[in-house]
Amino acid sequence: MIALLQREGSIHVINEKYPDKILDSDKEKIEGDPLSVIQLSLAPNVLCEVSTSTEEMAKEL
């Protein structure tokens, strides 16, 4: 999963190394893409076991 997020340019959501001078509201906006990448990569039976809430953060998933 880490390799997939690196390829997508979204690894910052896991290591929490966001670009400098980013607002908290912007962090919330850019969480959506990595969360979708993770959710779409899960097998259907695994996805059923985890929350699919849009308020869930990618790192938590």
Tracing tokens 């985890």 back to the chain, one arrives at: 50
Label each residue of 31-61 as H, E or C: HHHHHHHHHHHCCHHHHCCCCCCCCCCCCCC
Angstrom distance (rounded) from CA 40 to CA 61:
12
The predicted structure's pLDDT at residue 54: 53
What would the pLDDT profile of 12-61 be if each residue is shown by its tens digit? 777 777 777 778 777 777 777 788 888 888 888 888 777 655 556 777 76
Which residue would you say has higher pLDDT here, 53 or 8? Answer: 8
- φ and ψ of 27, to 5 deg: -60, -40
The predicted structure's pLDDT at residue 52: 59
CA geometry: angle 18, 40, 58, nearest 5 deg: 30
Angstrom distance (rounded) from CA 3 to CA 28:
22
